[in-house]
Amino acid sequence: MTIPAVGDFMEQIKDESSDIEIINAADWIDQEPPEPNQIFEDLFDVADKLAIIGSSKLRKSFFCMQLCLCLAAGIDFLVFKCVRSRKVLLVQMEVQKGHYHRRLYRMARHLAINSRMIHENLVIINGRGIGLTISHIKAAARCVKAEIIIIDPLYKLVAGDENSAHDMKPVLQAFDEITEDTGAAVGYIHHDPKGRPGDRNIRDRGAGSGVLARDYDACITLTRQRDDEDAAVIECLLRNYKPRKPFVAEWNDGCYQLSTLPAVTQNSSNATAGKTIDAYIDEVIKLVKKPMYCQEFDNLLRDEMGLSIRKSQDVKKTMLSRKLIVKSEREKKWGGAQFIGLPADIARINEKMKQGEIQF
């Protein structure tokens, strides 16, 4: 078989699918790569995707607002070095317009940021109650020539269940389209599930489907600090840059400020790392009030009890090995569905399956 020349092969592929970019690696080896267009130094770039994740009532929206003000003014935000001022589109969909205005007014004064400093660099869409869509956001981004778009919060754009990868993928795909069409970075605010976020690996943070953790280029998490209710431990997970040390930011005088408190979370390993698997078992048994699908059980361990993926797997494995919980037979007629629950409950389900009485 004759192998076509590389150039001919690439032209053939391009003709068949014009959206695919084919690169000869030899060209890249001979060329200096372009410098990244960094938004915050060594954190994330234009056209990247950023997740900001934190627990409820931890002032995530204030954190987001402060980040946007600093970017628009071209000043550093906490430990993050601002390369230069940016055109920012902030889409907020939770807070009433008047209250959001008050928040911005007060924070700008606490940060000593005036209108001349941000000029036209920060545009806000008050999207509460108006049925805002991705298309609206994309059109606005083009109009204002946004370099970064921040969406607060993510769940307002999810038309379905945020625990479902099927329902989350269209939103994440739309973010890809926004970055491709506008060149802007896209950031979003997301919440932690119930439980102990400080016990979780940063990769496990954020409620809902695990596709989120595999999608973003940079993630900033906020976790309540151990000794101060008004302080948050800030951690970063980065795809393209070196890891950063966690630090603490304290809510003071209307904005977040750097703190000298230790970067130890209220729910970090010092509180639960010594807790044995057996210590969780009684709590799990109380929560398993009826049989549930296996995925529901996994979500219960993670979201209701706040366990990390690894610890939830260890608890589940231990309970199954001791037959404290068991799995049902698979019902081929219904796509191999399977339940998990207490032995007596699962025995009744297995019997119903044999009789053809079970309904999925």
Both structure tokens of 355:
């009789």
Both structure tokens of 150:
């921040």
Spell out a b/e string for 315-348, using b for 16 or more CB atoms within 10 Å of the CB, else e: bbebbeeeeebbebeebeeeeeebbbbeeebbee
pLDDT reported for residue 296: 84
CA–CA distance, 9 with 4 (Å, rounded to integer): 6
Nearest to 232 by CA among 43, 56, 73: 56
In degrees rounded to 5, what are phi and psi of residue 53?
A: -125, 135
Nearest to 56 by CA among 224, 188, 211: 224
At the topology level of CATH, where does 38-265 sit? Answer: Rossmann fold (3.40.50)
Each residue's pLDDT tens digit, 245-288: 999 999 988 999 999 888 998 765 444 444 678 888 888 888 88
pTM: 0.70
- Give every CB contact of residue 340 below 8 A, 6+ residues apart in sequence: 291, 292, 293, 294, 297, 325, 326, 327, 328, 346
Question: Cβ–Cβ contacts within 10 Å for residue 271, how many?
Answer: 15
Domain 275-355: assigned CATH number: 1.10.10.10
Q: What is the pLDDT confidence band of residue 55, given thresholds at 50, 70 and 90? A: confident
Question: Cβ–Cβ contacts within 10 Å for residue 31, how many?
Answer: 8
208: left (phi over 0), alpha (psi -120 to 50) or beta: left
Beta-sheet pairing, 218-224 with 231-238: antiparallel
pLDDT > 70 in the chain, percent: 81
Domain segments of the chain: what residues? 38-265, 275-355
Q: What is the pLDDT confidence band of residue 77, given thresholds at 50, 70 and 90? A: very high
Range of lowest pLDDT (18-27, 31-40, 47-56, 66-75):
18-27
Both structure tokens of 262:
């230790």
pLDDT reported for residue 217: 94
Q: How far apart are the first and last CA of the chain?
A: 53
Each residue's pLDDT tens digit, 178-232: 999 999 999 999 987 655 555 555 566 665 556 776 789 999 999 998 888 889 9
CA–CA distance, 328 with 351 (Å, rounded to integer): 10
Range of lowest pLDDT (84-88, 250-254, 269-273, 352-356):
269-273
pLDDT reported for residue 155: 85
